[in-house]
Structure formats: structure tokens, C-alpha cells
A and B are shown apart, each in its own frame.
Chain A
């Protein structure tokens, strides 16, 4: 039982990390960096200038 719980937690951490990398690469392909969700002033300024 203890082994199972350990394995589950490990799998959850690795799964979460894998999903984060996948999510990061997906966002990056659209030209966003991981910090871009924050909508910083620079990001807002840059996207406002789209031609």
C-alpha cells in the first residue's frame, strides 16, 4: 500500500511536470513565453502594436 501511494505521488509529480512542458511548448509555438499569462505591461504593449 505504501509503495502504491509513493508510486502514485511520483507519477502525479512527473505527470504534472510532463503536462507543464507540453503546455509550455504549445504556448511557445504560438509565440508566448510561460510568463505571458501574467499580462505584463510589456506584453500588453507588444500585442497592442500588431499590424
Chain B
């Protein structure tokens, strides 16, 4: 049965194309030895089978999953290879294409997402590309189903010109070595000349899967010369030849349309935004502006209005209604002082959180976030991590749990462990309500600066700890970081709205679940004591726990037991800290709490408690994620203890040092 192998970089629309070309009854199983799905389908109204191979950047695999494609080429020879590329990222995509074209089987090159390319003011002369690459080239847009009929006709063609492998002008030492190896492999091992040539080039290019295959098959013409190939850096020479060929090909094929200046604009902006030195201040400036919008300009005024509504008319109406229907005092207290004050108190911070999420969505949709990863890659490299670790850390700003999961993209196990351990230092959105509460109370004119300082303090601690772990774990290898830089464009309102809701809906859901539950729990603990129901909160269980630990927290300026008991509930979820404080101070909302705070904290001790909240024990879900990702309870326990100790030392240090000057 004729077979078409579908091969391409990740995010090229390969799967969409697979679904469009094949019947819906695609057969799914796992590739041998890995958990990557093996998808097979049949081209509609034909007997041709399409094999969807995992997305890869080159045939030289970094992970077991990526090795699937090269193993497939080593063991199964497809009748045709459909190489799907992202037309807007053709330069990078062609690196894989050249390796595929050297394989020698017929190739059809699909320039997918062609509309994006046209929008950027560029088109490619398909005839020039076909002539240079020696294969059929088709322009498609799988999502809009354009160009698919032509592509399908090409795949179904019975009469196909015999394929010849692409021959690149490698430097003399490489081409001579290839020729020598091919002659020996054909003569002594009966390989076909074209397969022998591809194998030799891959071998010289340090393809580890190919090298293992060659060693297993005992192909001595290659194995005996491995040291010589590596000593002459054939892999670098091969890469440079390919890159030069690609650049020339693209230059010849590119035609500029006069419809857009997007590409020029992107290049101009990138000169500043991704600048090795200026890129970082730009990054800090953008984050400052984001917090200024969220806390000072938009979020806090809206939050105050919401708080006035909740702690005023809503609480009063609920209290009056409950009294009129004969509700007993303890139930009324549970509903009004517990649930409405606690859950409502946290919900009043929704404006800050949603404005911040809207800003992040704007940055994502405009194309800036990929640049942020690139800018931070330079700092990460100094630490010993690469930009790939920045992605889980940035995701950790939303939720540490998802941040830890996304560290799975890092191939090196030790590097992955380091990223997992430092992820909880990222200030997740669950900490925002408590930040808002304190900055509104103590730093009304510098809210953005204080929150920004906490975010960056988290980053600095994460980087310092990463460096320490690098040294302790003796990490030498590092993962490869590749990031696509999309063109800048004006963010779309519907995408911003969707992205903001997508990020924020979890917070709303938590209000009805764990924040509600944590609030009821702390209400119970502050209304019950060893003697039963207590009228004086100082005799409650919550007070007992807080008072026992109070001497430990005194060096960081905490003089009341309530914040300490509230900190303990933060292990359930960090949002619960705010609601716990409101409940334990028996207040109707954040306005009253802010007034009460005045007598309990100074700006310095308020900042120290925020620092402690930023760094101390991760929430239970994060601890479970660490256990699940490291496969060991000891790392979760280590994170719990070490983070709390670090938090304590830094918070006490800031307070004691600050007290000398303030």
C-alpha cells in the first residue's frame, strides 16, 4: 500500500493538514518505546496511507520522542514525503527540509499558512523554490482549506518523476569523505547509493540515532572514521553549507509585495526590544506599566467601588434579611462575617487581577512574550539555564502548578529539576489579593513599584537558587532553546477578552470552592476553642496556633497572632490568606481591615510579610505537582522546608536591616 510520510516542524499546521487530507477514521496508537501518538490515516477516496510523524526541528533528535521520525526513515521507506512548513518561518523550516531532500525519496513541500506570509508583504516564487530544491512546492492554508485540492492531486499522481536526492555543495573535505564512505558502503554492505549518502551525511552531522543504528549494523566505513569526522568539525561545515544554501534560495525566491510594512516595522522594533542591553530595561518598563495599570490607575479604583458595595449594602442587606427571618447569631455570623466578608473580600480584588491578565494577554497577542523569553535567555545563560526555563517561570506567574508541568519541555533531567524547584518562587496570581490588600493600606501612592519589586525579588531568588543548584548538581549539559519570533501586530479585542477570561475564570471558580471552604474553616477555628464556642477570639483554636508561633515571627515585625494563623491557611491556596485575615479580624471588608492594619504593621513590617508570603511554603497543589514531576516526596518536602526557611531569613533580614534606617 503506498505510504506518504507527513513531516515538519512543530506548529506548522501539520495535524490540521493531516485531518483535512485523510478520512476521519485515523488510526491512533503509540510509537514504539515512547508515548507519542502514532497517527495513520487514508487519503480520502484512495488507498494511500498517510503517517503523521511527530513535529521536529531537525532529524538530529534531542529527545526520544524526536527520534521517532529518524527511526521511521531508517526502518521504513515511504513512497513520498510531504514536508509541511510554516511559510512565514521558511528559513528555519528548510533546515529540516534539506535533510529530508537528501534522503532521496520524492518530496512535496507544502508552504502552509501562506496567508500569514502574504500579509507580511512577501511571496515566494514557487518555481524558483522547486528548481533549487528539486521537489514539488505547493502553497496551502490548511485551516482555510486553500490549496488542498492541488496538493491532494499531487499526492495522488500515479506518474511521478523519479526523485534524485538533493546534492549540496559541501566543502571538499566533507564531500570527499562522503564519497569515500558511500563507495565502501555500497560495495561492502549493499546499501543503495542514495541511502548510503544520506546515512553518511547524517553520521558526520553527529546524529546520535543514526550513529547508534550504524554501530548496531557494524557499518565500519563510518564507525572507523568517527574521530576523524568529529575532529574536523564536519557537523559545523554541514550546517554552514545548509544555511548558506537556504539563504541563497530564499533570497532568489522572495518577492516583496507593496501591501504591508509589517516586516519592516517588526525589524525596527526588534532593534530596541531584543537589544542585548536595552532589551532588559524595556522588559522591566513594560512590567512596570502593567502593574501601574493594574494597581494604580484602573484596578484599585474599581476594587474600592466593589468593596464599598460588598461591605456596605450587600452585607447590611444580608444581615437585616437574616435577622428578619429569625436566623440565630452563629449562623448569621458564619454567613455575614464569614462567607460574605471573606469570599467577598477576596472577590473585590478581581479588578486588579483581571486588568493584569488583560495586560498579559495584550503582550502575548502582540508578539512581545516571545521576545521576553529571548531577552531573558541571555540572563538565564549566565545562570546556567537557558531561555527554555523562562517559559515555565513566566507560566508560573499565572499558576505555579502549570508552570511546573510546562517544565516538561526541558529535555535535560537535572535542568528540569532545577526549573521545577525554582518555579514556586515565581509570584503566582493567587498572591495578588494579599499584595493588593497590603499595598492599598501601606503604599497607596507606590502600589505598582511595590508589587513590581516583589515580582522581581521572586525572579532574583529563583535565579540565585538556580545558580546554586547548577553548582550542587554539577550541571554541564543544557537543553537547546528555539523560539519563534512572530511579527508584531495590533492585538485583537476578541482575543484579549478570551485570553483574559481564560486566565481569570480560575480565580472566580476558586472563590466558590477552596476560598469559600478555607473561609469557613478559619471562621470555625476562630469561633471554636478548647471549651467549645468562644465569644473572645483570643481563646479560639486559631489564636492558640498563632500565639504559639508569634515569638518566631516577631523578628520580622509581626506583633499580632492573626496574620500568622492566616499564613497557615495559605497552604490550601494563597488567596485564602486575605479572606482569613478579614474573618479573623471580624471585619466587614477590606476597607475596615486596612484601617485595622494601621495599628498592627508599619510599612516596613508590611513589606516583610509580603516578602514572606512571596517565598514561603508553596500551596498544597504545587507541592503535589513537585512530587508528581520529580517522582519523589523528598523534593516536595524539601521545597516546603527550604522555601519557608529562605522566606524567613530574607524577611527577617529586610526587617532588621530596614529598622536600622527607618
Q: Is B295 an interface residue, CB under 8 A from the partner?
A: no
**Interface residue? B330 (CB, 8 A):** yes
Q: Is the CB of A38 within 8 A of B506?
A: yes
- Within the complex, what minimum Cβ distance (angstroms) separates B626 from chain A? 9
Mask for A24-37, Cβ within 8 A of B = 1, else 0?
A: 11011111111111
B618-629 near A? 1/0 per residue, CB < 8 Å: 011111110111
Given A24-B514, A24-B572, A42-B406, also A30-B334 (CB < 8 A): no
- Other-chain residue from A17, A25, A41 in contact with B521 (beta carbon distance below 8 A): A17
- Whether B510 lies near A35 (C-beta < 8 A) is yes
Contact between chains at B406 and A34 (CB < 8 Å): no
> Interface 1/0s, chain B 513-539, versus A by CB < 8 A?
110111111001000000000000000
Cβ of B505 within 8 Å of any chain A Cβ, yes or no, is: yes
> Is B405 a contact of A40 with CB atoms below 8 Å?
no
| Residues of the A chain whose Cβ atoms lie less than 8 Å from the Cβ of B142 | none
A43 to B399, CA, bound (A): 10
Once the chains bind, are A46 and B402 in contact (CB under 8 Å)? Answer: yes
Min Cβ gap B508→A in Å is: 9
Answer whether residue B502 sits at the interface, using C-beta atoms and an 8 A cutoff. Answer: yes
**Is B513 touching A34 in the complex (CB atoms < 8 A)?**
yes
Pick the residue among B64, B505, B619, B629 that contacts A38 (CB under 8 A): B505
Smallest CB separation, B417 vs chain A (Å) = 14
| CB pair A36 B516 closer than 8 Å | no
**B517 contacts A24, CB within 8 Å?**
yes
Chain A's nearest CB lies how many Å from the CB of B36? Answer: 9
Secondary structure of the B contact surface, majority rule: helix
Verify if B134 is at the interface (C-beta below 8 Å from A): no
B524 with A14: CB separation less than 8 A: yes
Cβ contact within 8 Å between A49 and B520 = no
Contact-residue size bin, chain A (C-beta under 8 Å from the other chain): 35 or more
Taking residues whose C-beta sits less than 8 angstroms from the other chain, chain B's interface range is 35 or more
| B625 A17 Cβ-Cβ under 8 A | no
Q: Tell me which residues from 492 to 510 in chain B have a Cβ below 8 Å from any Cβ of chain A.
A: 499, 502-503, 505-507, 509-510
A18-B318 Cα distance, complex, nearest whole Å: 24
Indicate if B71 sits at the interface (CB-CB under 8 A): no
Distance, CA A48 to CA B623, complexed state (A): 21
* A46 proximity list for chain B (CB < 8 A): 395, 402, 405-406, 408
Kindly state whether residue B609 has any CB partner on chain A within 8 Å.
no
Which residues of the partner chain A approach B405 to less than 8 Å between Cβ atoms? 31, 43, 46-47, 49
Interface residue from B34, B330, B629 paired with A10 (Cβ < 8 Å): B330
Q: How far is the CA of A37 from the CA of B395 in the complex (A)?
A: 17
Q: Which residues of A contact B623 (CB under 8 A)?
A: 28
The listed residue with most B CB atoms (<10 A of its CB), out of A24, A25, A27, A30, is A24
Which of B374-406 touch A at CB < 8 Å?
A: 395, 398-399, 401-402, 405-406
Closest to A41 in B: B502
**What chain B residues lie within 8 Å of A3 (beta carbons)?**
328
- Which of B64, B520, B619 interacts with A14 by CB under 8 Å? B520
**B506 CB contacts on chain A under 8 angstroms:** 33-36, 38, 40
Cα A21 to Cα B572 with chains together (Å): 8
Known contacts A3-B328, A31-B625, A34-B510; A18 and B401 CB within 8 A of each other: no
Is A28 a contact of B503 with CB atoms below 8 Å?
Answer: no
Report A-chain residues with C-beta under 8 Å of the C-beta of B620: 24-25, 28
A30 and B402 contact, CB distance less than 8 A: no
User: Taking A14-B524, A30-B624, A35-B507 as contacts, is the C-beta distance between A42 and B402 under 8 angstroms?
Assistant: yes
**B514 contacts A43, C-beta separation under 8 Å:** no
Contact of A49 among B406, B503, B521, B625 (CB under 8 A): B406
Q: A28-B620, A49-B409 are in contact. List 13 more A-B contacts (CB 8 A).
A: A6-B327, A20-B513, A21-B514, A24-B572, A25-B620, A31-B624, A33-B402, A38-B502, A40-B506, A42-B398, A42-B406, A50-B35, A51-B34
What are 29 contact pairs spanning A and B, CB under 8 A? A6-B328, A6-B330, A9-B331, A13-B334, A13-B520, A14-B524, A16-B520, A17-B516, A20-B517, A21-B514, A21-B518, A24-B572, A24-B621, A25-B620, A28-B619, A30-B624, A31-B627, A31-B629, A33-B401, A34-B510, A34-B514, A35-B510, A38-B506, A40-B506, A49-B406, A49-B409, A50-B35, A50-B408, A51-B64
Top 7 closest pairs, chain A to chain B, by CB: A35-B506, A17-B520, A46-B405, A20-B517, A31-B628, A28-B621, A33-B621
- Listed in ascending order, the chain B residues whose CB lies under 8 Å from chain A are 34-35, 63-65, 326-328, 330-331, 334-335, 339, 395, 398-399, 401-402, 405-406, 408-409, 499, 502-503, 505-507, 509-510, 513-514, 516-521, 524, 572-573, 619-625, 627-629
